[in-house]
Amino acid sequence: DKTVSLRKDLSEMHEWITQAEEEYLERDFEYKTPDELQKAVEELKRAKEEAMQKEVKVKLITDSVNNFIAKAPPAAHEALKKELDVLITNYQRLCSRLNGKCKTLEEVWACWHELLSYLDAENKWLNEMELKLKATENIQGGAEEISESLDSLERLMRHPEDNRNQIRELAQTLTDGGILDELINEKLEKFNTRWEELQQEAVRRQKSLEQSIQSAQETDKTLRLIQESLAVIDKQLSAYIADRVDAAQVPQEAQ
């Protein structure tokens, strides 16, 4: 009987739609690791593709029902037409929900990788800061050399906050959705602790270098005054020698 065959096809599609909804849309998903998130993205992509492939079958069922209705007595029309309408509505809703969830998870996956990218960039900057602090730990030299090291450190310290703000916002977006929250909180705690420690150390080193410059400048000034004084004395003594002045005649200078 054609009606039985059509109802069987309709029923099978309804069952498939219900199963797909339960499998991919109704379950509570938890993504605690990047692997779980990646697997979910791949599964939803496959589900979306499978649903799209079912469009051919839905179209065949639709054509079969419409052809049957066109030839069958009016009494058989209403029930079959209603079942077909429900099927088409449910199928289109499933495709729409799968597309929406797939897009959302792909955005979440992209958001996670963007967060990693910003963290990587900021950790490279922190590595530079760490190396710079080690290089200025026991710096030797005059005021000019110390001043160059201070300028170099201060240039690093002027690193913009943009990346750190992006890290904060991306992490908030993901953890608000309960996605990779434990892993992200762990990474952020480690990053923020290191950032704060190096920033505080950089401020301390900045002050220390400023004091070293001041001390070196005072030392340079003292040495310059001594050199100027020695030059005057040398000139005076040289004049005495040239004039054959005896030391006994100038006891003050002799001493």
Q: pLDDT by residue (tens digit) across 205-233?
A: 999 999 988 888 888 889 889 999 999 88
With helix as H, strand as E and coil as C, how does the chain read? CHHHHHHHHHHHHHHHHHHHHHHHHHCCCCECCHHHHHHHHHHHHHHHHHHHHCHHHHHHHHHHHHHHHHHCCHHHHHHHHHHHHHHHHHHHHHHHHHHHHHHHHHHHHHHHHHHHHHHHHHHHHHHHHHHHHHHCCCCCCCHHHHHHHHHHHHHHHCCCCHHHHHHHHHHHHHHHCCECHHHHHHHHHHHHHHHHHHHHHHHHHHHHHHHHHHHHHHHHHHHHHHHHHHHHHHHHHHHHHHCCCCHHHCHHHHC
C-alpha 167/C-alpha 112 separation (Å) is 10
> Which two tokens mark 83?
């079942």
Q: CA dist 236 to 242, 247, 251, Å?
A: 10, 12, 14
Residue 197 has pLDDT above 90, yes or no: yes
Q: Which of the four pLDDT bands, split at 50, 70 and 90, describes residue 237? A: confident
Question: Is domain 2-212 given the CATH code 1.20.58.60 in the classification?
Answer: yes
Supply the mean pLDDT for the chain: 90
What residue type is assigned to position 76 of the chain?
Answer: A
Of 195, 187, 131, the residue nearest 164 (C-alpha): 195
Query: What integer pLDDT is reported at residue 88 of this predicted model?
Result: 95
Residue 16 has pLDDT above 80, yes or no: yes
Residue 76 has pLDDT above 70, yes or no: no
Query: What integer pLDDT is reported at residue 253 of this predicted model?
Result: 63
Residue 255 has pLDDT above 70, yes or no: no
**Residue 161, phi then psi, degrees to nearest 5:** -85, -5
Looking at the chain, the whole-number percentage of residues with pLDDT higher than 70 is 96
**Residue 243, phi then psi, degrees to nearest 5:** -90, 5
Q: Is the dihedral of CA 100, 106, 109, 111 positive or negative?
A: negative
Query: What integer pLDDT is reported at residue 254 of this predicted model?
Result: 58
C-alpha 69/C-alpha 75 separation (Å) is 10
Query: What integer pLDDT is reported at residue 103 of this predicted model?
Result: 94
Mean pLDDT (whole number) for 106-130: 96
**Residue pLDDT, tens place only, 132-161:** 999 988 887 788 888 999 999 999 999 998
Query: What integer pLDDT is reported at residue 238 of this predicted model?
Result: 85
Angle at 168 (CA atoms; ends 32, 164), nearest 5 degrees: 130
